[in-house]
Amino acid sequence: MATQTADISQEPKAPNPNCVICTRNLWKTYDMGSEQAVDALCGVDLAINRNEYVAIMGPSGSGKSTLMNLIGCLDSPTRGEYWLNGQLVSELGDDELARIRNKEIGFVFQTFNLLARATALHNVELPLVYAGVHSEERLERAKQMLISVGMGGRITHKPNELSGGQRQRVAIARALINNPSIILADEPTGNLDTKTGNEIMALFDELHARGNTIVLVTHEHGISQLAHRVIHIRDGKVAYDEKTPRGGGDGGMIDRRRKI
Give me the amino acid identity at 71: I
pLDDT band for 252, please (50, 70, 90 cuts).
low
What's the average model confidence in pLDDT over 68-76?
Answer: 94
Residue 111 or residue 5, greater confidence:
111
* Three-state secondary structure of 21-64: EEEEEEEEEEEEECCEEEEEEEEEEEEEECCCEEEEECCCCCCH
pLDDT band for 256, please (50, 70, 90 cuts).
very low
Residue 259 has pLDDT above 90, yes or no: no
Ranges 205-214, 222-231, 247-256: which has the least confidence: 247-256
Identify the burial level of 118 via C-beta atoms within 10 angstroms of its C-beta, where 0-12 means exposed, 13-18 middle and 19 or more buried. Answer: middle
| Residue whose C-alpha is closest to residue 199's, from 209, 188, 215, 210 | 188
Percentage of residues in the chain having pLDDT higher than 70? 91
What's the average model confidence in pLDDT over 218-245?
Answer: 94
pLDDT band for 1, please (50, 70, 90 cuts).
very low
Q: Supply the pTM of this predicted model.
A: 0.86
User: E strands within 74-160?
Assistant: 79-84, 87-88, 105-109
What's the average model confidence in pLDDT over 140-154?
Answer: 96
Per-residue model confidence (pLDDT) at position 12: 78
| Residue whose C-alpha is closest to residue 250's, from 232, 234, 229, 224 | 229
CB contact at 8 A, 246 and 225: yes
Residue 225 has pLDDT above 80, yes or no: yes
The distance of Cα 180 from the centroid of its chain, to the nearest Å, equals 10
What sign for the dihedral angle of Cα 217, 219, 223, 226? Answer: positive
Mean pLDDT (the chain, rounded): 90
Q: What whole-number distance in Å separates Cα of residue 65 and Cα of residue 58?
A: 9
Looking at the DSSP assignment, which residues form a beta bridge with residue 31? 37
Q: Which residues of 151-172 are buried (b: 16+ CB within 10 A; e: fewer)?
A: beebbebbbeebebbbbbbbbb
| Residue whose C-alpha is closest to residue 190's, from 180, 200, 182, 177 | 200
Homologous superfamily assigned to 49-77+97-247 = P-loop containing nucleotide triphosphate hydrolases (3.40.50.300)
DSSP 8-state code for residue 124: H
Domains of the chain, by residue range, sit at 49-77+97-247
Per-residue model confidence (pLDDT) at position 215: 97
Q: What whole-number distance in Å separates Cα of residue 56 and Cα of residue 260?
A: 19
Size (the chain), residues: 260
Per-residue model confidence (pLDDT) at position 253: 55
- Give the CB-side neighbour count of residue 158, counting CA atoms within 13 A: 5
- Element (DSSP H or E) covering residue 148: helix 135-148
Per-residue model confidence (pLDDT) at position 8: 47
